[in-house]
């Protein structure tokens, strides 16, 4: 069987269906949330779109109140089912785009749109993989379910609901990372570190007043923009502006300053990256804070700036908090501060999105963080926690996926680990499997996100073969 030719023959139809999915702005939207669309209208529309495609293909379709849905194929009487899990929600749009993010555009062999690689392109690839298996009439011993989630980028409520309502799969994979096979995922800790009001009301007088500071929009992205509004007498504002230009020039940073009569707005441009790889980005908020901490501030602003700088600047491995660790399977602990905010009359905090290796324990890590925060008189909100996940190489699914990958690529499939939190970790025998090949650029969560069309076809071929193999495993 030439699986790639099967995918290639469906290229036009696949791109047509993918464009329709990418055109749906499926960003979490509480303003339009309601019955049947708990994540908002756009997300619910994307789920209905995919389930309608599956129903038209003759798959058995279930929609659990707009939060999670699935399409099933294979013998209904089969005891076991194999899961392929993808998500239809996308992160908010940020940065400058060549073409509108929800108007899919094909340029130079790539399809550009928010969600193209994370995770709508792979979701469509898995659908066409199952479509190929069905149209070829291949025999299946087990059922297969394409499971579509709607809250992967936030809290994974969709998977929690699925686990409440449905039996667990025998095994499965998510096309939401990279090839060859990711059998280990780091644990996660997500929380906000709050500065009590009393700290901002300190009777400290300085040359400058921090009116507001903001950086980042979502916790699992490295902030690509930051803005500080500062008040002072005009001559001190001019001195601050001159110093800022010198700081940016000396450190090759992209900053700007806009001065009015009594205030100045300092802006910093960074580089966005996924929160699981903060070392690949440049945190605009931390770069701006590192400059501002050198000056004299009214109230608690100096405490905020110095504390954030001490705990986070130029330290994505948690050394300043005393939580750095590493193992051979899953690598080092990483920490990203995706949202930073100072508001004298509102909430002042920084958010941490922490990924820790399999050797770690979140109780121990939280204890160390709490001890460090006590020194700085800070408070930690109740955290969202995720345990590390690991599937041993001896599992028959791993062997089947390794054989599939070798047959389709000619390359050996080594087991990898990731700092990302995929749907695979919700099931005991779940792994991440593609779609990116080693060395490929990932534009997930970034402006001008894209999926290479050749990658779309190659991954579809691999998934079709994998579905055929997994649905006939001896379990």
CATH architecture of 3-185+388-470: 3-Layer(aba) Sandwich (3.40)
| Contact assessment for residue 259 and residue 272, using Cβ atoms and an 8 Å cutoff | no
Instruction: Give the start-to-end residue ranges of the domains of the chain.
Output: 3-185+388-470, 188-386
Q: Residue 99 phi/psi, 5° resolution?
A: -125, 155
Provide the whole-model pTM.
Answer: 0.74
Cα 365 to Cα 104, 192, 418, 429, distances in angstroms: 42, 15, 19, 26
**Per-residue confidence in pLDDT tens, the chain, 475 aa:** 999 999 999 999 999 999 999 999 999 999 999 999 999 999 999 999 999 999 999 999 999 999 999 999 999 999 999 999 999 999 999 889 999 999 999 999 999 999 999 999 999 999 999 999 999 999 999 999 999 999 999 889 999 999 999 999 999 999 999 999 999 999 999 999 999 875 556 677 889 999 999 999 888 899 999 999 999 998 899 999 999 999 999 999 999 999 887 999 999 999 999 898 999 999 999 999 999 999 999 988 999 999 999 999 999 999 999 999 999 888 999 999 999 999 988 899 999 999 999 999 999 999 999 999 999 999 999 999 988 999 988 999 999 999 999 999 999 999 998 887 789 999 989 999 999 999 999 999 899 999 999 999 999 999 999 999 999 999 8
CATH of domain 188-386: 3.30.70.360
Give the DSSP H/E element, type plus range, for residue 83: strand 81-87
Other residues' Cβ atoms within 10 Å of the Cβ of residue 201: 11
- For residue 85, which of 122, 37, 53 has the smallest C-alpha distance? 122
Active site (annotated) includes residue 176: no
What's the distance, Cα to Cα, between the start and end of the chain in Å?
Answer: 24
Output the six-digit token pair for 195: 């500065």
- Separation CA 140–CA 174 (nearest Å): 20
Chain-centre distance for alpha carbon 192: 18
Chain-centre distance for alpha carbon 212: 27
| Contact assessment for residue 395 and residue 429, using Cβ atoms and an 8 Å cutoff | yes
For tokens 């139809």, name the residue.
Answer: 13
Which of 17, 118, 151, 152 is the catalytic position? 152
Which of 45, 89, 153, 199 is the catalytic position? 89
Cα 177 to Cα 180, 298, 424, distances in angstroms: 10, 46, 10
Predicted pLDDT at 200: 59
| Contact assessment for residue 451 and residue 120, using Cβ atoms and an 8 Å cutoff | no
Active site (annotated) includes residue 185: no
């Amino acid at each position: 069987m030439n699986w790639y030719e099967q995918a290639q023959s469906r290229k036009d139809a696949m791109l047509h269906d993918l464009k329709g999915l990418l055109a749906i702005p499926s960003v979490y939207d509480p303003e339009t949330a309601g019955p049947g669309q708990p994540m908002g209208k756009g997300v619910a529309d994307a789920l209905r779109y995919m389930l309608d495609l599956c129903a038209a293909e003759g798959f058995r379709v279930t929609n659990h109140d707009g939060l999670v849905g699935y399409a099933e194929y294979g013998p209904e009487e089969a005891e076991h089912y194999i899961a392929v899990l993808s998500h239809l929600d996308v992160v908010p749009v940020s940065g400058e785009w060549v073409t509108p993010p929800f108007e899919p555009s094909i340029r130079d062999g790539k399809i550009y749109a928010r969600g193209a690689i994370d995770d709508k392109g792979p979701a469509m690839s898995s659908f066409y993989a199952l479509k190929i298996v069905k149209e070829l009439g291949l025999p299946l011993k087990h059922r297969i379910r394409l499971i579509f989630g709607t809250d992967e980028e936030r809290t994974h409520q969709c998977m929690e609901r699925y686990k409440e309502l449905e039996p667990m799969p025998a095994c499965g994979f998510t096309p939401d990372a990279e090839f060859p096979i990711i059998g280990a995922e780091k644990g996660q800790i997500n929380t906000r570190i709050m500065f009590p009001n009393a700290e901002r009301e300190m009777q400290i007088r300085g040359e400058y007043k921090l009116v507001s500071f903001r950086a980042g929009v979502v916790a699992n992205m490295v902030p690509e923009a930051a803005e500080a509004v500062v008040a002072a007498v005009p001559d001190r504002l001019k001195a601050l502006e001159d110093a800022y230009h010198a700081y940016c020039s000396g450190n090759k940073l992209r900053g700007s300053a806009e001065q009015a009569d009594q205030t100045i707005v300092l802006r910093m441009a960074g580089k966005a990256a996924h929160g699981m790889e903060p070392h690949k980005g440049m945190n605009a908020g931390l770069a701006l804070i590192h400059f501002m901490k050198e000056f004299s501030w009214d109230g608690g602003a100096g405490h905020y700036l110095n504390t954030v700088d001490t705990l986070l600047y130029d330290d994505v491995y948690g050394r300043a908090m005393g939580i750095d660790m590493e193992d051979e399977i899953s690598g080092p602990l990483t920490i990203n501060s995706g949202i930073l905010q100072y508001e004298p009359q509102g909430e002042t905090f920084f958010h941490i999105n922490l990924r820790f290796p399999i050797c770690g324990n979140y109780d121990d890590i939280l204890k160390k963080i709490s001890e460090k925060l006590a020194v700085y008189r800070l408070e930690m909100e109740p955290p969202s926690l995720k345990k590390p996940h690991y599937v041993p190489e001896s599992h028959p699914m791993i062997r089947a996926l390794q054989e599939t990958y070798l047959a389709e690529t000619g390359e050996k499939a080594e087991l990898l680990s990731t700092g990302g939190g995929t749907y695979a970790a919700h099931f005991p025998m779940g792994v991440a499997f593609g779609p990116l090949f080693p060395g490929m650029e990932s534009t997930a969560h970034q402006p001008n996100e894209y999926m290479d069309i050749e990658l779309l076809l190659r991954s579809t071929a691999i998934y079709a073969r994998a579905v055929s193999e997994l649905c006939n495993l001896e379990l």
